[in-house]
Amino acid sequence: MGNSLRVLIEKGETTFQDVLEIMKNKTRKFQGKLRASEKVTATRDPQGNHATDDEPYFSKQWSIFRVPEHIREVDEKAYNPRVVAIGPFHRDRPELKAMEAQKLRLYEELVKQIGDEGREVGLRTVIKKLEGRARNCYSEEFDCISSEEFVQMMVLDGCFIVELMRLYHKSNQDGEHLEEPIFATRWMLPSITRDLLMLENQLPFFVLQEIYKLTIVSEKETPLNKLALLFFEPLRPQKGEYSEIKLQDQGKHHHLLALFHSSFLPCDYHRPSPRRGMRWNRQESLPGKFWLDEVRILRRSGIKLRSNPGNLLNIEFENRELRIPTLFIDDSTGPLFRNLLAYEQCNAFAAPYFTCYAIFLNSIITMPEDIEILQDTGIIKQSKARDEEVVSLINSLTKELVFDLHDMNDCYIAQQIEDINAFCRTWMSKCIYQLSKIDFISIGLSFIFPSFK
């Protein structure tokens, strides 16, 4: 963490408008370095602001974190934005400076659409009041970022995100032709979309919500949650449209990554109540590397594999049939999964759904033969990656993750794992497995041709 590039912004009496003018002229200067904060104490509220009474949970917990070094080392690039910096963690990386002009452009377009100078001033005033609460969402203190600079960052980054999602919706859902340079560049929008789902690259969702409400120009505006989900839809590792129930999500979320994380949970799923003392015994219950035997062994043990058209996390086992939703693997799959996993690792209040899913995949996949079986059944579809690369990706997802493999309480597929392993211990399964090892073709040929060996 100490090696991350962070630059101290000079404190002063600069107004918001002054800052915008400086950015336009590209004469803004940065001095010094922001100190690395690795404290595990709660951040201070320099403005003395407090969350409203109906949101105490969101005001007391960190929700935006720097990825721990031991996790980051597994795949450094997965956590660093390529194109755009959002929030304080990556704001001063030189290679991301080019997008600052695009942020300013979309901000000015949004202000022009509002057409009300009072609303523009009101926008800055509201975000100013939220500054302390917003600072407390980050796991590090940014004392060297002045109040004016912090508010300016929240406004520009937030307006950029909100306006980009609105434009995307108009272009894709409403069919409007928009002269938007970001959409006309083939590589830019997918890169921005990926960057906006990185744990270190988040704004508090309540900041986005306030900006959205204060910049509404039509009574028929699509809700922010729906705008965001539709914007991220192309990045889902399970292709297909969201259910209408998911698109109607009106819940409160910490940030965009948390909203995206919640969209994978089955609508009717409820986290099971902790079962005190319920643990798996490695010697008696868990046969393979983690929770289950590999796919090739499961199939030889009499288990039928089938793709499940349901939610990505909806793994089912019934009547010897293991149904696993189709997973599409491309260049964005690794970074997306790693940030979802990092979010669960850093936030103890985030249920470890993807952690369990990653361990499940790592349990049943250890070699290319397992990938080939899953491909044949439609459970895995990949773009250009070789089977060996997919195996390497799957096996690397759980590296450096902290999770008690024997704890049944936090595993949402605990019952399915128990049922699969129970079947594999049955007399029927053992007979099927032994029969699968017999080469009946060779035996038949030896009877027809006695000299056949």
Q: Report the alpha-carbon angle 393-379-313, nearest 5.
A: 80
What is the crossing angle of helices 224-232 and 205-214, to 10°? Answer: 120
Mean pLDDT of the chain: 81
Q: Report the alpha-carbon angle 292-366-337, nearest 5.
A: 85
% of residues, the chain, pLDDT over 90: 57
- The CA-atom distances, in angstroms, between 415 and each of 313, 409, 445 are 14, 11, 44
Give buried/exposed letters for 70-88 (b at 16+ CB in 10 A, else e): ebbebeeebbbbbbbbbbb
Give the three-class secondary structure for 208: helix
Question: Per mean pLDDT, which range of 35-44, 59-68, 198-207, 304-313 is the poorest?
Answer: 35-44
281 band by pLDDT with thresholds 50, 70 and 90: low
10 band by pLDDT with thresholds 50, 70 and 90: very low
Confidence at residue 120, expressed as pLDDT on a 0 to 100 scale: 77
Average pLDDT over residues 62-85: 95
pLDDT tens figures, 126-185: 999 999 999 999 999 999 999 999 999 999 999 999 999 999 999 887 667 788 889 888
Residue 29 has pLDDT above 80, yes or no: no
Give the residue carrying structure tokens 């493999």.
405
Confidence at residue 246, expressed as pLDDT on a 0 to 100 scale: 74
pLDDT tens figures, 238-261: 876 666 667 778 788 999 999 999
Residue 99 has pLDDT above 70, yes or no: yes
Report the distance separating Cα 237 and Cα 333, nearest Å: 6
Residue 306 has pLDDT above 70, yes or no: yes
DSSP character for 149?
H
Report the distance separating Cα 340 and Cα 355, nearest Å: 9
* Cβ 157 vs Cβ 87: under 8 Å: yes
33 band by pLDDT with thresholds 50, 70 and 90: very low
Both tokens of 297, joined, read 């062994």
Average pLDDT over residues 417-429: 92
* Cβ 64 vs Cβ 41: under 8 Å: no
Confidence at residue 139, expressed as pLDDT on a 0 to 100 scale: 93
**Minimal CA–CA distance to 210: which of 137, 103, 115, 130?**
130
Q: Report the alpha-carbon angle 431-435-436, nearest 5.
A: 115
Confidence at residue 39, expressed as pLDDT on a 0 to 100 scale: 39
Give the three-class secondary structure for 323: strand
Q: How far is CA 240 from the centre of its chain?
A: 17
Residue 12 has pLDDT above 70, yes or no: no
H helices present in 173-204, as ranges: 181-184, 188-195
What secondary structure does DSSP assign to 18-37, as a single string? HHHHHHHHT-----SBPPP-
Greater model confidence, 393 or 434: 393
Average pLDDT over residues 274-293: 70
Question: Per mean pLDDT, which range of 11-20, 99-108, 161-170, 443-452 is the poorest?
Answer: 11-20
Report the distance separating Cα 79 and Cα 309, nearest Å: 30
- What amino acid occupies position 49? N
Give the three-class secondary structure for 125: helix
**Minimal CA–CA distance to 25: which of 34, 33, 37, 17?**
17
52 band by pLDDT with thresholds 50, 70 and 90: very low
Average pLDDT over residues 430-440: 74
Confidence at residue 32, expressed as pLDDT on a 0 to 100 scale: 32
* Cβ 340 vs Cβ 255: under 8 Å: no
Confidence at residue 324, expressed as pLDDT on a 0 to 100 scale: 96
Categorise residue 278: left if φ over 0, alpha if ψ from -120 to 50, beta otherwise. Answer: beta
Give buried/exposed letters for 260-283 (b at 16+ CB in 10 A, else e): bbbbbbeeeeeeeeeeeeeebeee
DSSP character for 235?
G
285 band by pLDDT with thresholds 50, 70 and 90: low
Question: Per mean pLDDT, which range of 11-20, 96-105, 251-260, 406-415 is the poorest?
Answer: 11-20
DSSP character for 77?
G
- What amino acid occupies position 359? I
pLDDT tens figures, 211-222: 999 998 777 889
18 band by pLDDT with thresholds 50, 70 and 90: low
Of these ranges, 166-180, 272-286, 372-386, the one predicted with the greatest mean pLDDT is 372-386
274 band by pLDDT with thresholds 50, 70 and 90: low
β-bridge pairing 380-382 and 327-329: parallel
Both tokens of 159, joined, read 């307006």
Greater model confidence, 203 or 171: 203
Beta bridge partners of residue 327, listed in sequence order: 380
